[in-house]
Amino acid sequence: MGKTIIQKIFEAHSNTTAHIDDIIDVMIDVRVARDFGGANVVKHLEEHHLSVQDPKHTFFTFDCNPGGCDQKYAENQQICRVFARKQNIKIYDINSGIGTHLAFEEGLVFPADTFVSTDSHANLLGAIGAFGQGMGDIDIAHAFAYGKTWFKVPPTIKVILKGTPSSTATPKDVALRINKEVGANGLLGYATEIYGDYVDSLSLDGRVTIASMATEMGGIIILFPTDKKIMEYYRKNFGITIKPIHADGDAYYERILEIDISALSPQISRPGHPEDVVSVTEVQGVPIDSGFIGSCTNGRMEDMRAAAAILKDKTIAPGRVLKIVPATDMIWNASLNEGLVKVFKDAGALVGSAGCAGCAAGQIGQTGKGEVTISSGNRNFVGKQGKGDIYLASPQTVAASLVAGYITTVDAIPKKPSPVKIVATMVRPSSVQKIEKQLNPLTVEGRVWVIAQDNIDTDMIYHNRHLAISNLAEMGQYTFGNLKGYEQFAIKAKRGDIVVVGKNFGCGSSRQQAVDCFKALGISVIVAESFGAIYERNAINSGLPILVALDISKKIQDKDILSIDFSTGAITDKTQGKTFQAKPFSNVQTEIYLRGGLLGR
């Protein structure tokens, strides 16, 4: 039987055959740490006396907070700079832009390469047919030190886009349509290959838009086979001829999904859930306070040109704020040279330094309580960019709506906008709890917290406003601080407690803190019906026990006393007198857990 794209990439970077579900060591071509995770990567390396295996293929990218406008971010950036000088590592500093975009703009990554970063959207490298994955600090430290790390070979889903969208639809609208079709966890644990006449028509920028939203669907990566446009991109920009990568004709796909995009109109995600997608016309007229154009999903040159075409000779509705952030410095300069920045400024927009902007709470893009914003970003989780409500749409829909003062499409911009108000709020932190050293038993017993919810994202678990914290002892107090109904969890939880949750737990960001906060509280194990792909890795690698059990949140009662055996997966509910079965620890998970984490000895 033939191989999928991801199997071919993994086999080329390992010394073994990449059978589905096998756990193999994969060599990493390029490893990156960002500014919020970089300091912790340095800490792990120095605490374990590890050196950098290949400095020429190891980088820092400061894209979350290009201005270093937060003291902790600035401190973390400087920690990375000092380490980079010692190790002769190149830094793409605060004037460079988003690291995952620099990876192909700077010619660091080519089709069929492997790339890891402390960025949950590293999988956007699937746009060029490369493997990219976001990881936590421990994983990246291991990749820095050894040039490789372990992966479970995922099965692949084949997505075929049928038909042609309307003339007003964009790649972002298509991405949102796919997200609606598969849901927040429909690609969980899968690589995806994408095909169709529409796919063949896409530019690199359009591919990036779709590939960057794999994370919002729970997917490991969306891979595009190499086409002539990608080959020409590398020939024109770097003077090289690349070898294309495609799946074999007889490759095995676990599922083939056809999605009809015929006559697709502009789409929009309603606040809180990227997958809650409707036609823009269904929410047309909703007043907005602000807008954002940028992010790793829609900060490309095509996005800047599209927004400028709408904003030219127009002004933003009074009382509104439009924030525009190009993805990279190259795009920023091109926008300046083409006169787009002048168009943005004349329209009344704020143009920020190249980078991620509000996605990681590091630059412009935050919202106040009661504020309604429309964004071209990739996620709109509750609290992700402040306390406001965020709609997700294309840059074209964002620009049109900011001129209108309410949500609308490019072909329905009114002559007169409506007024709106903005309200800000303050957040009160919880009290700090001390941490005792956690042992590593293979059986545990404790009281259970049943949170029967699916798709609990990392912002609900550990909000991004606390990302600059690197001391594990401080993290526990913020656990579930953004999950409605569980804001007091950190205060009420006891050491040894067990957490049982639904599907896709830990979806969203690659932040390590969303795992470490449970370690700080002394939670003995998290049992879920499924985990977000990055979260699962982070938990295993940090030594936090996690288990997967089907429909477990419907079988266990809150506050029951459970006894759990990690080796067998047996879950004994002593309160009910029943036993349930989870998938036991794999050999790799057991080994990592017993030695206290991936970097333990």
The residues facing 149 across adjacent strands are 26
* H helix and E strand count, the chain: 19, 25
pLDDT value at 30 more than 70? yes
Measure the CA–CA gap between 388 and 460, rounded to whole angstroms. 15
**Rounded Cα distance, 189 and 182, in Å:** 13
Residue 42 and residue 119 in one domain: yes
Same domain (yes/no): 387, 334: yes
**Number of domains within the chain:** 3
The arithmetic mean of pLDDT across residues 198-220, rounded, is: 97
Q: How far, in Å, are 17, 115, 222, 417, 559 from residue 318 at the CA level?
A: 60, 44, 40, 8, 52
Rounded distance, CA 269 to CA 276, Å? 5
Q: What mean pLDDT is reported for the chain?
A: 93
Checking if the pLDDT of 130 tops 50, the result is yes
In a domain, 93, yes or no: yes
Task: Classify residue 375: in a domain, yes or no.
Answer: yes
Residues 400 and 517 both lie in one domain: no
What's residue 419's pLDDT? 67
The three-point CA angle 323-326-329 to 5° equals 135
Where among 345, 374, 404 does a domain terminate?
404
Residue 214 lies in a domain: yes
CB-side neighbour CA atoms (13 Å) of 567: 6
Give the model's pLDDT for residue 434.
Answer: 43
What is the spatial distance between Cα 373 and Cα 368, in angstroms, rounded to a whole number?
Answer: 10
Same structural domain, 187 and 290: no
**What's the per-residue H, E or C state across 182-200?**
HCCCCCECCEEEEECHHHH
Q: Are 555 and 575 in contact (CB under 8 A)?
A: no
Report the pLDDT value the prediction gives residue 468, as an integer from 0 to 100. 81
Q: Are residues 72 and 216 in the same domain?
A: yes
- pLDDT bracket for residue 97 (50, 70, 90): very high
Name 115's Cβ contacts closer than 8 Å, sequence gap at least 6. 28, 29, 30, 31, 32, 100, 103, 108, 109, 122, 125, 130, 131, 132, 133
- Domain of 486? 443-594
Is residue 390 scored above 60 in pLDDT? yes
| Residue 387: per-residue pLDDT | 83
Q: In CATH, what number is assigned to the domain containing residue 158?
A: 3.30.499.10
The predicted pLDDT at position 257 comes to 98
Q: Does residue 134 have a pLDDT over 80? A: yes
For residue 546, the domain's CATH number is 3.20.19.10
As a whole number of angstroms, the longest Cα–Cα distance in the chain is: 72
pTM, entire model: 0.85
255 and 282, same domain (yes or no): no
Is 552's pLDDT higher than 80? yes
The answer to whether residues 341 and 452 belong to one domain is no
Same domain, 254 and 300: no
- The domain boundary residue, chosen from 238, 260, 282: 260
Q: Pairing relation of β-strands 290-293 and 498-501?
A: unpaired
Q: Do 248 and 353 share a domain, yes or no?
A: no
Is 425 part of a structural domain of the chain? no
Q: Is residue 154 part of a domain?
A: yes
Same domain, 162 and 284: no
pLDDT at residue 369, as a whole number: 87
CA 601 centroid distance within chain: 30
Dihedral sign from CA coordinates of 548, 552, 557, 563: negative
Whether the Cβ atoms of residue 204 and residue 230 lie closer than 8 Å to each other: yes
Given 206, 233, 260, the domain boundary residue is: 260
Does residue 414 lie in a domain region? no
By three-state DSSP, how is residue 551 classified?
Answer: coil
For the residues 87-103, what does the mean pLDDT come to? 96
Res 1 pLDDT > 90: no
Please give the structure tokens belonging to residue 393: 């749409």
Contact between residue 283 and residue 268 where contact means Cβ atoms under 8 Å apart: yes
**pLDDT higher than 90, residue 78:** yes
Rounded mean pLDDT, 126-148: 97
Judged against a pLDDT cut of 50, whether residue 438 lies above it is answered with no
Share of the chain above pLDDT 70, in %: 96
Which DSSP helix (H) or strand (E) runs through 474? none
In a domain, 416, yes or no: no
Residues 248 and 109 in one domain: yes
> Which residue shows structure tokens 């988003």?
98
Q: What mean pLDDT comes out for the span 12-18?
A: 96
Give the per-residue pLDDT at 422.
42
User: E strands, 153-195, where?
Assistant: 156-162, 191-195
What one-character-per-residue DSSP string does 110-130 give? Answer: -TT-EEEES-TTGGGGGGGT-
Same domain, 53 and 186: yes
Give the tens place of pLDDT for each residue, 419-437: 655 455 555 554 444 434 4
Q: What is d(CA 103, CA 296) in angstroms, rounded to the nearest whole number?
A: 12
Mean pLDDT of 529-536: 96
Indicate the pLDDT class of residue 32, thresholds 50, 70 and 90: very high
* Cα 181 from Cα 172, distance rounded (Å): 14
Q: Please check whether residue 376 lies inside any domain of the structure.
A: yes
